[in-house]
A = this chain, B = another copy of it.
Amino acid sequence: MHHPQTASRDSVAQAAFDIISRLRGRSPRVHCITNTVAQNFTANSLLAVGCIPSMTLSREEIGPFVAGAQSLLVNLGTFDSERRLAIGVAVETAARLKLPWVLDPVFVDRAPPRAIFARELIGRRPPVIRLNHPEFSRLAGDAPSRDAVMKFARANRLIVALSGATDLITDGERVASVANGHPLMAKVTAMGCAGSALVAACLAVEPDILDATVAALVVIGVAGEMAAGKSDGPGSFAAAVIDALFNLDRTTLVARAKVS
């Protein structure tokens, strides 16, 4: 016998697995503008859940690449000039074709030009922005309290996915949280970038943006927990996360999901 919260937890987890099953069945193409540090791990994470990643960033061809994709990730991690030009074309293409996209404003707290550029991109209405506490504080000008995050989501008419020990996901009205994950995830570069790429992937097959975002975050969190039990440190852990994304089944996801 379930009490209401467990039932809710179960139905969110079931919905998350349904989304992953759709990824495996439909193999959407996800175009990723991401930093060179993260590209390989991100591509392998997307392949592990059934997607086809593409990652070009030439101004001349990124338009057709995005136009043929089912969703887009814009990660600011390597902020070179060619990448910034590519982002402009990519976001315009996504807007024109109504393709969902995710903004990951990596390290905006570290350099002013990056924060300015991120604010311009927020003005172009990404359906989802995924970021951590210092990045939120820099962009919102406010500490990431639940109220501040909800206000930021409403003001910018987007879903905020704030990562942390517990992830907070909100459109400004509804609020969800995901408490899965493992400390080793912070010891592997690109783990957050791969999480954002999975959000983009889920948006390709699920029209409810909040549900898609929650699904991606619970899946990568549970994969991290599964991987931790099979690894000797962050090196073997990184490979084990990819294995876990590939092998994840409904029973495991439902048993481990900590969502509300």
Contacts and interface: CB of A to CB of B under 8 A. Distances in A.
A252 interface: no
Given A40-B40, A190-B40, A235-B48, A112 B78 contact: no
Contacts of A247: 232-233
> Chain A contact residues: over half helix, strand or loop, or mixed?
helix
Contact of A64 (B57, B112, B189): B112
A151 to B, nearest CB: 28
Among A107, A114, A234, chain B packs the most CB atoms within 10 A around the CB of A234
Interface stretch (A3-11, A142-150, A237-245): A237-245
A132 interface: no
Nearest to A63: B111
A188 B245 CA distance: 13
Contact of A60 (B47, B77, B113, B236): B113
Contacts of A58: 78-81, 113
Contact of A189 (B37, B40, B77, B112): B40
26 contacts: A37-B39, A38-B40, A40-B41, A40-B190, A43-B190, A44-B189, A47-B186, A48-B187, A48-B233, A48-B235, A53-B189, A56-B79, A56-B107, A58-B80, A58-B81, A60-B111, A61-B79, A61-B113, A65-B111, A68-B110, A231-B243, A232-B240, A233-B246, A233-B247, A235-B246, A236-B242
Interface of A: 35-41, 43-44, 47-48, 53-58, 60-61, 63-65, 68, 77-82, 107, 110-114, 186-190, 230-236, 238-247
Given A58-B79, A61-B111, 8 more contacts: A47-B189, A48-B233, A57-B78, A65-B111, A233-B243, A235-B241, A238-B239, A238-B242
